[in-house]
Structures are given as structure tokens and as C-alpha cells.
Structure 1
Amino acid sequence: MFFVTDKIVFAMAMLRCVSASIELTAAFLMLKFGRVETALKINAVLALVGPSVMILVTVLGLAGLAGKVSISKIAIIFSGVVLIFYGVNKS
């Protein structure tokens, strides 16, 4: 189906597939239990999974770019990720 020559791209895609599977499983669990309290608990666990996967995929991407992109551009990309988390968590 897909022929991937880059192991980093494959790892990034697989992490996203695992994340999607976790999200879908959580949605089905919410439907199965059918209670708001339980759904909120499941959602709290998902709040940890999403950012963790984003960080891991970004780190893999930066590792793949390490030899191809200058250090200053990698720093700009990394600071962009940090700013995303800062902006989302700022109340």
C-alpha cells in the first residue's frame, strides 16, 4: 500500500496511528459507560496523550531534519512548539 523509504517518516506516522487508536478507543469507552463523570475522566487521560504525541512526533521530525537544516532554523521550529504550548496553557 505505502512504500516508505524514510524510517523517521514511518515512525512519525505510526505514532499518529497509535494516537488515533487511543482516541477512538476512548470515544467508544465514553459511549460504553454512558456517564458524564466517566467521560470526563477518560477525557482527562486524553489530555495527557495528545500533547505527548505531539512532542514525540516533533522530536522525531527535528531529529530527521538535524543534518539537513541549520541549527538556527531548528531552534525556531522548537521555539514555535514551545509558543504553541505557552499560548494554549496561558489563562
Structure 2
Amino acid sequence: MFFVTDKIVFAMAMLRCISASIELSAAFFMLKYGKVETALKINALLALVGPSVMILVMTLGLVGLAGKVSLSKLGIIFAGVALIFYGISRP
């Protein structure tokens, strides 16, 4: 199917697959329980999963780029990630 030579790319993809599995399982649990209150509780738990996976995948990607990208460009990438979180956290 796919032939991946880079272990970091494989790890990033696997984290995303695990995240997708968690999201799909949560959707099925929402349908199983069929109550708005329970669905909101499940959704609240998912609010922890999404950002955590993003941080882990981004960290893996930056580790993979560490030897290939200059320090100034790495700083710009970190600043970009920080701005994403700043933008999300402000109303």
C-alpha cells in the first residue's frame, strides 16, 4: 500500500490514525447513548484529544526537521505554532 522510509513520517501518520479512531469511536458512543448531555460530555473529552495530537504531531515534525532547517527558520515555525494557539484561545 504505502512504503514509508522515514520513521518520523510514519509516527506522524499513525498518531493521526489513532486520533481519527478516537473521533470515530466518540461519534459511535454519542449515537449509542443518544442523549445530548452525554454527547456534550464526550465532546468535551474530544476537546482534549485534538490539540494534544496536534502538538505531538507538530513536535515530531519539528524534530524531523531539526537537522535540515536553520535555527532562524525553526524559530519562525515555533512562532507560527504559538500564534495559532494564541488565535484559538482569544475570543
TM-score when scaled to structure 2? Answer: 0.98
Inter-partner Cα distance in structure 2 for 1:42 and 1:56: 21
Q: Could you tell me which residue of structure 1 aligns to residue 82 of structure 2?
A: 82
Q: Could you tell me which residue of structure 1 aligns to residue 69 of structure 2?
A: 69
Q: Could you tell me which residue of structure 1 aligns to residue 18 of structure 2?
A: 18
Q: Which letter does structure 2 place at the counterpart of 1:38?
A: T
Percent of residue pairs identical: 80
Tell me the CA shift for residue 17 of structure 1.
Answer: 0.2
Alignment of 1:8 with 2:20, yes or no, is: no
Deviation track 1:2-59 (CA, whole Å, cap 9, x = no partner) reads 1100000000000000000000000000000000000000000000000000000000
Q: Could you tell me which residue of structure 2 aligns to residue 40 of structure 1?
A: 40
The count of corresponding residues between Structure 1 and Structure 2 is: 91
> Which segments of 5 or more consecutive residues in structure 2 lack a partner in the other structure?
none
> Which segments of 5 or more consecutive residues in structure 1 lack a partner in the other structure?
none
Q: CA RMSD in A?
A: 0.5
Inter-partner Cα distance in structure 2 for 1:9 and 1:60: 8
Runs of 4+ in structure 1 deviating by more than 3 angstroms, as ranges, are none
